[in-house]
Structure 1
Amino acid sequence: MKLSARNVLGGKVLQIKKGATTAHVTLDVAGATVTAAITNDAVEELKLQVGQHAYAVIKASDVMIAVD
């Protein structure tokens, strides 16, 4: 598979928390955590499991920084 996204972070699935329709999938990426909200159906289709290697694919046109 080829992607247009340039921000692809490989990591290990740490946690999968399913809700009514949406799951929060957390990856360990080189010691940092990245969490994605995806559908429960996507979790099933990808056969995601804790401990599995997966990729966070980030496609965003804007990144904002804030401070107090």
Structure 2
Amino acid sequence: MKISARNALKGTIKSITKGPVNAEVVIDIGAGKLVTAMITAHAVENLALKEGKEAYAVVKASEVMIAVD
């Protein structure tokens, strides 16, 4: 895979919850950390996503904010 995004986190799909239009995909990236993405249900089928399959969470953002208490 080649991609220009700098933030690609490799992990294992933990769960997929499909709705009629969108799906929630949870990826375990290790050390107890999870990344959740909302994608189309069609994309889940197109990418043949299944629980236990390796995948990348690719983050593309124009801004990243930081907050503290």
Q: List, as ranges, runs of 4+ consecutive aligned residues in structure 1 with deviation greater than 3 Å.
A: none
Percent of pairs with identical residues: 57
Shift of 1:63: 1.1
Shift of 1:20: 1.7
Equivalents in 2 of 1:17, 1:67: separation in Å? Answer: 31
1:38 aligns with 2:57: no
Q: Which structure 2 residue ranges, 5 or more long, are not aligned?
A: none
List aligned pairs for 1:1-68, cutoff 5 A.
1-30=1-30, 31-68=32-69
What RMSD over aligned residues (CA atoms) do the two structures have, in Å? 1.1
Q: Which structure 1 residue ranges, 5 or more long, are not aligned?
A: none
Q: How many residues align?
A: 68
Shift of 1:65: 2.5
TM-score, length basis structure 1: 0.91
